[in-house]
């Protein structure tokens, strides 16, 4: 599918979204950083900080088993800290495997689904990213930022 | 500024967002964010926008703060901090006449989830990434 930029001026009030049909595969990150369920939170934290990313798909034996977001990390840290004292945040994070805090109830999307469908899912489910899955394997990740960049690029 | 036919921020922003003052406590902010199911609160002082507090800022520093504090409940901790100690300031804002495209670009570039909409010095609304997603979804 190919979407071309609309150049003619649309009369006010009749403006229509022309590009919502674009497939997710065109705006997704194709090789997202992944981690395994036995990896610990300190590693996830480093990746999130250094890579300036907010979501890490968790893969086990080639299969998507969860997603870890910056938000989950904060939550885990707050909970852990309330019960434990005298440890640094880093030590705390190192003691928790990802499988204990990752979200396992996964909402995924197909690469051929439209950007419109991805936006709708993210808005209704209140989630910041969708793993893109085809034939059982992870092929990409699409985030709210990808959709913002897309809206910023394309004509409305 | 909007060209003919382009959607403007005014058309999809939320008017009259809930606001707090810089001297309100984090406990109040936390209640507002939790009960109102919102993620961003503009902070006003004498009618002027001075900052923005997001759920993210509320969670992040709590981790650090709690590491140093013993024997306090989360509630007591939140009560002991004021909004101005954690709010994000200065704030990126946008005009109601800017295009949706400009708002999306600014949010993506600055990695922020929301922009207070300011007309002159007056806060007139709030536009969030969720508003933009809904707009795409309903297109």
User: Each residue of B52-108: pLDDT tens digit?
Assistant: 998 877 765 555 555 555 546 667 778 888 999 888 888 999 999 999 999 999 999
Residue contact B104–A151, C-beta within 8 A = yes
* B92 and B103 Cβ atoms separated by less than 8 Å: no
Question: Mean pLDDT lowest for which of A4-18, A136-150, B88-102, B113-127?
Answer: A4-18
pLDDT class of B127 with cuts at 50, 70, 90: very high
Q: What are the b/e assignments for A87-104, b being 16+ CB within 10 Å?
A: eebeebbeebebbebbee
Chain A positions contacting chain B at CB under 8 Å are 9-12, 14-17, 20, 52, 70-71, 74-75, 77-78, 81-82, 85, 88-89, 115-117, 119-120, 122-123, 126, 144-145, 147-156
Residue B134 contacts A where some CB pair is shorter than 8 Å: yes
Mean pLDDT (whole number) for A30-57: 91
Q: Which residues of A touch B6 (CB under 8 A)?
A: 15, 155-156
Question: Does B90 lie at the interface with A, CB-CB under 8 angstroms?
Answer: no
CB B21 within 8 A of CB B43: yes
Percent of chain B clearing pLDDT 70 (strictly above) = 85
pTM value is 0.79
Dihedral angle, C-alpha A93, A97, A103, A109, nearest 10 °: 110
| Residue, of B86 and B125, whose pLDDT is higher | B125
Looking at residue A8, its pLDDT comes to 39
Q: Could you report the per-residue pLDDT of A82-135, keeping only the tens digit for each?
A: 555 545 667 878 888 999 999 998 899 999 999 999 999 999 998 999 999 998
Residues of A in contact with B7 (CB under 8 A): 15, 156
Beta strand segments in chain B, E: 14-15, 40-45, 48-54, 114-119, 122-128
CB of A68 within 8 A of CB of A35? yes
Cβ separation of A152 and B104 shorter than 8 Å?
yes
| Average pLDDT estimate for B13-22 | 94
User: Do the Cβ atoms of A156 and B100 come within 8 Å?
Assistant: yes
* ipTM given for this complex: 0.80
**Is B71 in the A-facing interface, judged by CB distances under 8 Å?**
no
Report the C-alpha gap between B3 and B120 in whole angstroms: 20
B49 pLDDT band (50/70/90 cuts)? Answer: very high
- Provide the pLDDT confidence category of residue B37 given band limits of 50, 70 and 90: confident
Of B5, B6, B130, the CB nearest to A123: B130
Distance CA B63, CA B74 (A): 11
CB distance A78 to B56 below 8 Å? no
Q: Is B59 on the interface with A (CB under 8 A)?
A: yes
Tell me the angle at which helices B55-68 and A70-83 cross, rounded to the nearest 10 degrees. Answer: 30
């Amino acid at each position: 599918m190919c979407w071309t930029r609309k150049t003619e001026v649309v009369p006010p009030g009749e403006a229509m979204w022309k590009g919502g049909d674009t497939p997710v595969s065109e705006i997704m990150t194709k090789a997202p950083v992944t981690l395994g369920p036995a990896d610990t939170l300190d590693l996830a934290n480093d990746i999130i900080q250094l890579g300036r990313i907010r979501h890490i798909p968790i893969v086990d034996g080639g299969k998507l088993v969860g997603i870890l977001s910056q938000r989950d990390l904060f939550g885990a840290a707050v909970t852990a800290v309330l019960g434990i004292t005298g440890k640094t945040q880093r030590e705390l994070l190192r003691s928790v495997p990802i499988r204990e805090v990752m979200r396992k109830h996964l909402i995924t999307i197909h690469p051929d689904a439209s950007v419109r469908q991805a936006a709708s899912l993210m808005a209704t489910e209140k989630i910041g990213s969708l793993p893109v899955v085809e034939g059982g394997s992870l092929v990409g990740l699409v985030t709210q930022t990808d959709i913002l960049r897309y809206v910023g690029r394309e004509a409305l | 500024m909007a060209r003919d036919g382009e959607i403007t921020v005014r058309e999809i922003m939320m008017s009259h967002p809930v606001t707090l003052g810089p001297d309100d406590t984090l406990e109040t902010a936390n209640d507002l964010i939790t009960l109102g199911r919102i993620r961003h609160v503009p902070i006003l002082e004498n009618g002027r926008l001075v900052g923005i507090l997001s759920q993210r800022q509320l969670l992040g520093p709590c981790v650090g703060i709690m590491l140093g504090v013993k024997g306090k409940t989360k509630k007591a901790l939140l009560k002991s901090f004021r909004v101005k100690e954690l709010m994000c300031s200065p704030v990126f804002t946008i005009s109601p006449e800017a295009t949706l495209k400009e708002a999306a670009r600014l949010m993506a570039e600055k990695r922020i989830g929301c922009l207070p909409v300011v007309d002159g010095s007056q806060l007139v609304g709030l536009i969030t990434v969720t508003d933009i997603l809904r707009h795409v979804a309903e297109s």
